[in-house]
Amino acid sequence: MTLQFPQMPEQITKAESRILDYISNNPEEFLLSSIGEVGEKLDVSGTTISRFVRRLGCGDYKELRRLVADQNISEGPAVKLMQTLHSEEAFTVDNWFLRQQMYLQKTLEGLEQEEFQKAVLALCSAHRVFIHAKSASSSLGQLLMFRLRRLGVQSVLLPSGGSEVLEGLSQAETGDLVIMFSFSKLSQEGKMILGYRKEAGYRTLSFISRAFVPEEERADIQLFAYRGEAKEYHSMTAPAALVDALVVAVSEQMGEASVENLSHLYHMKKTYAPNR
């Protein structure tokens, strides 16, 4: 694809040439990528990209993305989303929901299907499931525990912070699964969970939103959910959808056992709490 820019430098560096080739050859992927993601993919710094953007005559990275979206003849979802998201300055519900669609799409692209299947099997085979969630993620922890218990999976919600986490974690052992939410960084409690796993013998599953996680911070199983860029409002739409998808997949994997557990719960409520 040949793009027209406000200005084109007479000479460009090798790094700038890689950036230009990437944008020209992958316009839709570029439109859905942050400046950090492009830099990581091309092994160039964000500063280099920002400088090149200005050399092309654009005020900033967002302006460059709008320019590429306007020139892209494709009718793909990336172009439509970018054009809609930047069509209005003020917040609208339509814009917000379209942004969530983009977050879900980026989650689907970043989620490794093999890891997801590992998570399903780990939940089905776990003797008990311990869940650690704090701050905004606490609602996701509650949701996951509620859903799993309805399927008959023994689930325990660990204390959210401090040394009390260790009191609950001390009960975990071989055959158990410990789930944590560490989207943007690994908390102190997360470090406790990972640090104790070798001694206790349990497995770990982490919900993350980082493209790269250092080896020492990696759980045995990692599920990616996109929540927005670093300085944006961090949405929980994709993580909540991922939690629900995981529960539905577990239910399907369990087969008749999950149906029996739900039926048993229904009859208990009908017998012992008929008015609720």
In tens, the pLDDT along 6-19 reads 998 888 888 898 89
Same domain? For 64 and 186 the reply is: no
Of 87, 121, 152, the last residue of a domain is: 87
The alpha carbon of residue 11 and the mean position of all alpha carbons in its chain are separated, in whole angstroms, by: 39
DSSP run (H or E) holding 177? strand 177-181
Residue 268, class by beta-carbon neighbours within 10 Å (0-12 exposed, 13-18 middle, 19+ buried)?
exposed
- CATH code for position 74: 1.10.10
Same domain? For 59 and 166 the reply is: no
**pLDDT value at position 8?**
87
State the sign of the Cα–Cα–Cα–Cα dihedral 114, 115, 118, 120: negative
Specify if 97 maps to a domain: no
State the sign of the Cα–Cα–Cα–Cα dihedral 85, 88, 89, 90: negative
Same domain? For 80 and 134 the reply is: no
The total domain count for the chain is 2
Specify if 1 maps to a domain: no
Same domain? For 218 and 128 the reply is: yes
**pLDDT value at position 109?**
84
Specify if 204 maps to a domain: yes
Residues 242, 41: Cα–Cα separation, whole Å: 25
**pLDDT value at position 79?**
58
What is the three-state SS of 91-110? CCHHHHHHHHHHHHHHHHHH
- CATH code for position 237: 3.40.50.10490
**pLDDT value at position 24?**
78
Of 87, 122, 147, the last residue of a domain is: 87
Same domain? For 240 and 199 the reply is: yes
pTM, rounded to two decimals: 0.67
Specify if 6 maps to a domain: no
- Segments of the chain scoring below 70 in pLDDT: 1-2, 73-90, 229-232, 257-262, 264-267, 276
Specify if 25 maps to a domain: yes
What is the extent of the structural domain holding 219? 110-272
Same domain? For 133 and 72 the reply is: no
Specify if 4 maps to a domain: no
Specify if 241 maps to a domain: yes
In tens, the pLDDT along 155-201 reads 999 998 878 888 889 999 999 999 999 998 899 999 999 999 999 99
Same domain? For 225 and 115 the reply is: yes
Same domain? For 69 and 165 the reply is: no
Same domain? For 150 and 265 the reply is: yes
Specify if 72 maps to a domain: yes
**pLDDT value at position 258?**
61
Same domain? For 224 and 169 the reply is: yes
The residue type found at 93 is V
Same domain? For 70 and 149 the reply is: no
Same domain? For 119 and 38 the reply is: no
217 secondary structure, DSSP code: G
**pLDDT value at position 29?**
81
